Structure 1
Amino acid sequence: MVAVWIEPCTATVPEPAASDAPAAIDAGAGWSVRCVDPAAGWLRLDDAGVTRGDGVFETLLYRRGRIRSVIEHLARMERSAAALALEIPPAAVWERAIALGLDAFLGQDADGKPEASIRCVATRGAPGTGPACFVTLSPVPARDPDPKPIKVLTLDRGYDSGAAQRAPWLLLGAKTLSYAVNVAALTYAKKHGADDAIFVTSDGLILDGLTASVVAAYRTDNSNAGHTIGGSGNSNDGGSVVLRTPSVEAGGLAGTTVAAVSEAARALDWEVEAVPMRPADLLTADALWLASSVKMLRPVSHVDGVEVGVDAQLHRILSHALEQTL
C-alpha cells in the first residue's frame, strides 16, 4: 500500500519516516501533500472518523494507464462533504495527492500492468485539529473476465422514499464513512445464502446495492435472446435494448459507474432510463448487474431466491462498451 497525507501548509505534524519521501507543497492553495508510511499512525485514535464514522470517502480505479472518472468521484466527494458541513481540500489538491501516490505505486510495480484501488478519505479529525485527509493506493486482485453470477437479497433500508427530502440529516445519497449498516446487511445476506444485497425503501423502491449500483437491461419484444445484437447494440431484426437504473430521488447514491455504464449503453444505441424501480422490475430483467468502480459489472442470477435472466450476450457487449468508455 502507498499512502499520501494531505495537510494545511501551516500544520505541525510528525515528519515522515523517510526524510526523502516525495512531497508537493502549494502555498497558494494552502495545502501540502506527502507520501507517508501507512503503518506509522498518522490518524489519531480520537479522530472523529474512527470514533463516529464522521467523514467521507471515494474509491477510484487506476487501470490501463488512466484513473477512471476522477472528476466525477471528486465532485461527489465535495457534495458528500457539504452534506456533513465538512471542509475538505479542493479537487485540485486531491488530484495532486493522487498523482504523487500513483508515481510511488507505479515505482513498486514488477509486472508492468498494475491496477490500483485509490481511496480518498476525509474525516472531521481529532478535537481541535481540523480535518484529516489522505489517499491510499492498493493493488487490485486479478479480475475474472467471466465473473460468476451472484445471488442477492432485497433488504428494507428502514426509510420511505420521501426521507431524503424530508430529513437531509439522514445523509441519504452521501458517501460517508458510516458503513456499519451496510456491513450488517452483507452479513445478514450471506447468513441467508446470498452473496450481496440491494437496499429498498420501506415503501418498496429500489435504492442501490451495499457497495454498488443497480443496473438492469431489458430486450424489447422483438429483441429476444435468440437474436444477435449487432455492434451498434441493435438486434438484427430491428429490436433494441433498454437500460434502466433506479432514480436517485428516493435516496440512493448517484453512482459514478452508473453514469459510465449509461454512456456506454448510449454508444450502443440502447435506450437509457433512470426511473423508480421496484423488486418486481428486477425479476423481469433480461440481465441484471451490480456496478461499482473497482469490480465493474457483476451479473446477478437470483433475487430473493428467484432466478432472473443472465443474458451472456448483453453482459459481454455492455462490459466491452464500458471498457471503451472508462
Structure 2
Amino acid sequence: MTLPVLLMLLHDASGVVSVDEQDPSAPQVSVLDLGVTRGDGIFESIGVIDGRAQALEPHLARLAKSAAMLDLPAPDLDVWRAAILRSIELAGSATVGSELLVKVILTRGIEDGDSATGWVYCFDAGHYDREREAGIAVVTLDRGYRSDVAETSPWLLQGAKTLSYAINKAALREAARRGADDVIFVSTDGFVLEGPNSTVIALIDGAYVTTPPSLGVLEGTTQGAFFADAQARGASVEYRAFTVDELRGADALWLASSGRQIAPVVTLDGQPVSADPAFTAGAVERLLAR
C-alpha cells in the first residue's frame, strides 16, 4: 500500500471502538465535530523509523493523560496501539529506509453527540537533514503565563497536547517575521518553557537540562530518549526550572521533537550559540536507531 494510510476509530454510544481503513482523500469528519469547530481534542505524533514506532508507550501514556485533563473518554490504549501498528503495517514497503509520522487524533465528537471521534494517520514525515546538520535560528517569546500556571489554573490545560494550535502557529509566524525558524516560549516570571512543538534541551555546567512537566510543559518523548542515551554514556541530566539568562549562557541548545529528533540551536534571539555538529550527528543517529 502507498502512503498516506488512514484508520478511523469509530466509537458507539456504549464506548465500543471499531477500526476501519478509509480513503484519506475522502471526507471523514463532520463539520459539527468539536475538534473542527472548537479545537476540542487531543493528539500525538509518533515517529516511525524503518517501520519501528518510536516511544510508542510514552506517547500512549501522554494521550491518556491529555484525555483525562480534557475530561475526554479514556482511550482504550490496546485498541489505539493496535491501530497505530496496523497503520505502519499497511504502509508496507514505504517504511523501508524512511522516516514516517503517525498522527493520532481524538476529539469530543459531534456537538451534543454521545460518542468521540478518532483516527490514526500515517504519512511521510519529510526531510529534516538541514535542521539537524545546519541547525536552527530560534527566538524567545513570552507565553503570557507564569511558570506555576499548571498548578494555579489547571483549566488552561498547560501540559495537555490539545488540538488548539492557533497560538503555536501564530508564534511560528512571528518567528518567521523575525528571520528565525522556531520559538522557545518563556514564562512571564522569566523561566524557560518549551517550543510550539518541541522540548528544550540545554547543556548547562556540564549537565543536560530540560524543563520539568510541573511547569506546564509536555513530557518530551524524544527528549526522554536523548536523556536515556546521555545517561547511558555517563552524562548528567536534570529536570529543573531554569531561567532565560541560563538559557542564553548555555554551552549548547537543542529542540527535540518526534519528527526531526533533535536540532541544534545556532542562534538565539540573533546571538550565536555554540554547537557541536559531530555530537549532534551521533545523537541523531542513535535516536533514529532506537
Name the TM-score class by shorter chain: over 0.9
1:2 aligned residue: 5
Written as runs of structure 1 = structure 2, the 5 A alignment for 1:208-219 is 208-218=194-204
Amino acid at match of 1:140: A
| Aligned partner of residue 67 in structure 2, secondary structure | helix
Alpha-carbon separation, structure 1, partners of 2:245 and 2:13: 56
2:107 aligned residue: 123
Alpha-carbon separation, structure 2, partners of 1:323 and 1:295: 10
| Identity value in percent | 38
Alpha-carbon separation, structure 2, partners of 1:95 and 1:48: 24
1:289 aligned residue: 254
| Shift in Å, 1:134 | 0.4
1:141 aligned residue: 126
Structure-2 change in CA distance of 1:281 and 1:321 (3 Å): farther
2:243 aligned residue: 278
Bigger proportion of residues as helix: 2
Query: Could you list the runs of 4 or more consecutive aligned residues of structure 1 that deviate by over 4 angstroms after TM superposition?
Result: none
RMSD, aligned CA: 1.9
Residue of structure 2 aligned with 1:245, choices 200, 207, 210: 210
Residue of structure 2 aligned with 1:89, choices 72, 75, 89: 75
| Shift in Å, 1:9 | 6.2
2:229 aligned residue: 264
Per-residue CA distance 1:193-250 (angstroms, 9 max, x = gap): 11111111100111101110001124x5xxxxxxxxxxxxxxxxxxxx4211122222
Per-residue CA distance 1:227-280 (angstroms, 9 max, x = gap): xxxxxxxxxxxxxx4211122222111111111111011011000111111122
Alpha-carbon separation, structure 2, partners of 1:243 and 1:172: 23
Alpha-carbon separation, structure 2, partners of 1:286 and 1:317: 18
Alpha-carbon separation, structure 1, partners of 2:58 and 2:115: 25
Pair member with larger Rg: 1
| Shift in Å, 1:10 | 7.3
| Aligned partner of residue 193 in structure 2, secondary structure | strand
Amino acid at match of 1:131: A
Q: TM-score, normalised by structure 2?
A: 0.92
Alpha-carbon separation, structure 1, partners of 2:146 and 2:70: 21
Alpha-carbon separation, structure 2, partners of 1:65 and 1:132: 26
1:39 aligned residue: 25
Checking the alignment, whether the CA contact within 8 Å between 1:199 and 1:209 is kept in structure 2 is yes
- 2:219 aligned with 1:254, yes or no? yes
Checking the alignment, whether the CA contact within 8 Å between 1:5 and 1:36 is kept in structure 2 is yes
2:136 aligned residue: 150
- 2:287 aligned with 1:322, yes or no? yes
Amino acid at match of 2:81: E
| Shift in Å, 1:39 | 2.4
1:238 aligned residue: none
1:16 aligned residue: none
Alpha-carbon separation, structure 2, partners of 1:125 and 1:9: 11
| Aligned partner of residue 89 in structure 1, secondary structure | coil
Checking the alignment, whether the CA contact within 8 Å between 1:33 and 1:96 is kept in structure 2 is no
| Shift in Å, 1:129 | 4.1
Moved more, 140-149 or 33-42: 140-149
Q: Name structure 2 gaps, 5 residues minimum.
A: none
Written as runs of structure 1 = structure 2, the 5 A alignment for 1:35-184 is 35-106=21-92, 109=94, 112-127=96-111, 128-144=113-129, 146-184=132-170
Q: Name structure 1 gaps, 5 residues minimum.
A: 12-28, 221-240
1:229 aligned residue: none
Amino acid at match of 1:269: G
| Aligned partner of residue 262 in structure 2, secondary structure | strand
| Aligned partner of residue 147 in structure 1, secondary structure | helix
2:184 aligned residue: 198
Moved more, 65-74 or 278-287: 278-287
| Aligned partner of residue 260 in structure 1, secondary structure | helix
Residue of structure 1 aligned with 2:263, choices 298, 303, 310: 298
Alpha-carbon separation, structure 2, partners of 1:302 and 1:31: 47
